Amino acid sequence: MNGADVFYIIRKGTSGGTADDLDGESTARITPEFSQCRFVVENGSTALWQLNYGTDAASDTVVRPRDYNATTNTKVWKRVSLSGGDSGVIKTKTVTLTNAQILALPSTAIEIIPSPGANKILVPSLVTISWKYISGYTNLDNANVAIQWGAVPGGTASIIILQSAWGILFGDNLDDIISYPSDQNAIYQSQSNNPISVTAANGAGNFTGGNPVNIMKVTVLYTSVDL
């Protein structure tokens, strides 16, 4: 690992005491050093919360976890002030890849979101991929599609979408809209000021086959966070 990791999970609320709420989560076995973050979707809006050491009282910007203890577990969730002019807003970016771009994905990544600037990191909350096919691809060797941090294929941090699970490169399951992350992923802080791109891995090099009218649409919901 390079630097600390950022772990993020989607929660449905800040209060309520259930496993889907911030105040219902146990934190005794997790540490702020690993930048524990949660996206909370509540009342039609999305906010980012980060685990911190402290004994702060509960408020609009502070939530105490279920197992908070002023002596043995002094950790609280604090709402993060998001960077940029659209503070607190989750942004969306979509790219549509042509058949030629899909064929070359193992060697040429396609940028989805540009670099956010120094000391900032792009944090996706949801990735969806949908396809329009006439025919599938060939020359496949343990192939997968990935959303990665960086502009060159093979970035050190990525969200991998395995074709073995979905069959998407073969032209199967074409009615599926694939959504990631489904639970939790790690982002290295060393990926700050990197773009988010879509790429592919394939042991046999670039793909072959396909059809000129094939397209792949990738949508990323994300925010930019100050480090």
Domain holding 124, by residue range, is 91-226
Residues 134 and 24 in one domain: no
Say if residues 19 and 49 touch (Cβ distance below 8 Å). no
134 in the same domain as 28? no
- pLDDT at position 32: 76
Q: What is the mean pLDDT of residues 130-143?
A: 83
26, 53, 79 - which closes a domain: 79
The label of the residue with tokens 């086959």 reads: 209
Q: How many structural domains does the chain have?
A: 2
Residue 40, in any domain of the structure? yes
The string of pLDDT tens digits covering residues 2-31 is: 333 445 566 777 888 888 888 999 998 887
pLDDT in tens, 99-113: 999 999 999 999 999
Task: Report yes or no on 86 lying in a domain.
Answer: no
Length of the chain: 227
Residue 84 lies in a domain: no
- My answer on whether 188 and 121 are in the same domain is yes
**Residue 129, phi then psi, degrees to nearest 5:** -130, 130
Residue finishing a domain among 55, 79, 103: 79
Residues 103 and 199 in one domain: yes
Mean pLDDT, residues 154-181 taken together:
53
149 domain residue, yes or no = yes
- We report the CATH number of the domain holding residue 172 as 2.60.120
Is the domain of 105 the same as that of 209? yes
pLDDT at 45: 65
Final residue of a domain: which of 50, 79, 108? 79
Contact between 67 and 28 (Cβ < 8 Å): yes
Q: For CA atoms 154, 9, 217, 191, give the dihedral sign.
A: negative
Nearest CA among 160, 166, 168, 156 for reference residue 207:
168
The verdict on residue 189 lying in a domain is yes
Number of separate helices (H) and strands (E) present in the chain? 2, 16
Q: Indicate if the pLDDT at residue 76 is higher than 70.
A: yes
Percent of the chain's residues with pLDDT above 70: 72
Buried b / exposed e over 4-40, threshold 16 CB at 10 Å, is bbbbbebbebbeeeeeebbbbbebeeeebeebbbbbb
Q: Which of 36, 224, 197 is nearest to 118 (CA)?
A: 224
